[in-house]
Amino acid sequence: MTTLTESAQWQTLESLAQLVKKEHMRNWFAGDENRAAEMNAEACGIYIDFSKNRVTKDVLKALFDLADERGVAQHRDAMFNGDIINNTEGRAVLHTALRNFSGQSVMVDGEDVMPEVLATLEKIEAFTHSIHSGEHKGYTGKAIKHIVAIGIGGSFLGPKIMTEALKPYQQDAVKVHFVANVDGCHITDVLAEMDHEDTLIVMSSKSFSTQETLQNTLTAKDWFLKQGGKQEDIAKHFVAVSSNVKAATEFGIAEENIFPMWDWVGGRYSLWSAIGLPISLCLGFANFKGLLEGAFAMDEHFKSAPNEQNLPVILAVLGIWYRNFFGAQSHVMLPYYHYLRGLPAYVQQLDMESNGKMVTQDGDAIGYETGPIIWGSEGTNGQHSFHQLIHQGHGVIPADFLLPLNVPNQDDTHHAMLASNCFGQAQALMQGKSFDDCYADLADKGLDEAERKRLAQHKTMPGNKPSNTILFEKLDPFTLGALVAMYEHKVFVQGVIWQLNSFDQWGVELGKVLGNQVLAGIQGNTEAETFDSSTQDLINRFKQANAPK
Ligand SMILES: O=P(O)(O)OC[C@H]1O[C@](O)(CO)[C@@H](O)[C@@H]1O
């Protein structure tokens, strides 16, 4: 296969980009009333209007041709089939098996993983029931009322954000609290609110070696014992989710309290596994299953829909278009729904930890841009803040606007205002406002000519800023599952086109090693010369500030 940038499809896209950069989207809309009707796609309850993009039909065709030529369909099938596509860790990538309701087996190394997957789902269901019904009691006989879920990265973001997004589905039986950061403020504050007799700690760590999670769990264990619990009571109050059962039992978690996961589930793809236990505890098992069902529906769509209708493929190639042909450095996520406010942080880990890479699968240096910076926050708040830069700053920041068409328990006026802001922002980004219009607005204001022109320049909005508008009827578990799976597959398609491994994360490892060395330095166990002068000075300052007075 030719390298990406030497491929005929890439060359075609480069030529098309030169032409498109001379065009303005507002003229395309003015000249073609069918543009919106022709540039949309819908599946699994999710509708995407992608007409406000700087693409023509020729561009879209060339982008889809690129995806085909790069073998997206073949790579996709390899992933679903359990091939070892994570080629730096020698692992299959099978988060899709966790939501596989097809009844078909999924083989890894000649073994069907589905019986274990289904057995774990049953264990989650049974455990959720025992907590909600009050059958599982704390050591003094109280029913469990609070869950403290400890984990970080993929062992935290998914459960935290999904339960937040599905707030209307939360069950009264228990309240779930999340702790991720090793910053002691968080765990201290959370535990201060808890009664140890009715609290269950769910410790989630795929590797069971993550510093933050281990330390927070130790702190929770100390707290439990200091409050009056005994070592033998821990089994009723601590459960773990991990693929490292040995380390979890050595840590003191009873084997029957360990929910398994597997090395073929990547951390940032793990909410569908037992890492989702806090979701089930918070929302009930049926709603957790609803999430999985939505994701499964998106998997089926991704496998079967033609490129032109395939939501993940469409989003992926549009992202490639801006990243590689327009120099877009970032992509902004704008959920217009308060409960979905965590989505940018979720997609940030998913995308940046997957595609923030600089070598190909074969280990060769990549000479083109790969994963963008993902950022954003809920609308309308951002409109009074960073939207300024999206509208009038230099460069292109493609945006995803997301909006549920219906929301629970809300006054219609609020929702209409929310929707109108969402649509209005996408419209403003697309059409902008010309200098002539701004200049005309300033007539009869008593300004001299120079001042009138100067002000008109400031008010001019270039427009031609791309966005997708993503709508769904309401944010129920099924739709949220489909939405998250859509972004997972978007990231996958981009990784294939960029020829990189989306499923490892070597870039985060050095920081962990050095962090541990610095800790040894702070605790006085390392020779001073281990560190560069800057790091040593910082350590010294920290030690001085914390020295016994
Ligand atoms: O579940 P674990 O093994 O504690 O890892 C937590 C997170 O840490 C990372 O490995 C990165 O440091 C993520 O990929 C992962 O989601």
Cα→Cα distances 365→151, 177, 328, 352, 370, Å: 34, 43, 21, 18, 12
Q: What is the mean pLDDT of the chain?
A: 96
| Residues lining ligand 1, Cβ inside 6 A | 152-155, 205-207, 210, 213, 267-268, 353, 505, 508
Q: Kind and range of the H or E element at 315? A: helix 311-325
Report how far ligand 1's centroid is from the alpha carbon of 96 (Å): 19
Is the separation of the CB atoms in 73 and 493 below 8 Å? no
Long-range contact set of residues 247-253: C-beta below 8 Å, sequence gap at least 24: 247/208, 247/209, 248/208, 251/208, 251/214, 251/217, 252/221, 253/203
C-alpha dihedral, 286 to 287 to 288 to 291, nearest 10°: 120
Dist. CA 315–CA 485, nearest whole Å: 12
Q: Kind and range of the H or E element at 479? A: helix 477-497
Dist. CA 66–CA 390, nearest whole Å: 28
Report how far ligand 1's centroid is from the alpha carbon of 356 (Å): 16
What is the number of the ligand 1 atom nearest to the C-alpha of 353?
A: 14
Residue 206 is encoded by which pair of tokens? 């795929």
Long-range contact set of residues 384-388: C-beta below 8 Å, sequence gap at least 24: 386/332, 387/425
Catalytic residues: 353, 384, 512
What is the number of the ligand 1 atom nearest to the C-alpha of 242?
A: 1
What is the number of the ligand 1 atom nearest to the C-alpha of 275?
A: 1
Report how far ligand 1's centroid is from the alpha carbon of 424 (Å): 39
Dist. CA 538–CA 544, nearest whole Å: 10
Q: Looking at residue 124, what DSSP letter applies? A: H
142-164 CB burial, b ≥16 within 10 A, e <16 = ebbbbbbbbbbbbbbbbbbbbbb
Mutate to test the pocket of ligand 1, among 182, 207, 350 (most ligand atoms within 8 A of CB): 207
Under the banding of pLDDT at 50, 70 and 90, the label for residue 526 is: low
Whether ipTM > 0.85 holds is yes
pLDDT at 531: 93
pLDDT digits (tens, 9 = 90+) for 167-208: 999 999 999 999 999 999 999 999 999 999 999 999 999 999
Residue showing tokens 């360990």? 258
Reduced to 3 states, what is the DSSP secondary structure of residue 342? coil
Residue 529 has pLDDT above 70, yes or no: no
Residue 131 has pLDDT above 90, yes or no: yes
pLDDT digits (tens, 9 = 90+) for 342-387: 999 999 999 999 999 999 999 999 999 999 999 999 999 999 999 9
Report how far ligand 1's centroid is from the alpha carbon of 493 (Å): 22
Dist. CA 471–CA 468, nearest whole Å: 10
Task: State phi, psi for 402 to the nearest 5 degrees.
Answer: -125, 135
Q: In the predicted model, what is the mean pLDDT of residues 95-112?
A: 97
Under the banding of pLDDT at 50, 70 and 90, the label for residue 410 is: confident
Q: Which residues pair with 240 in a beta bridge?
A: 203, 258
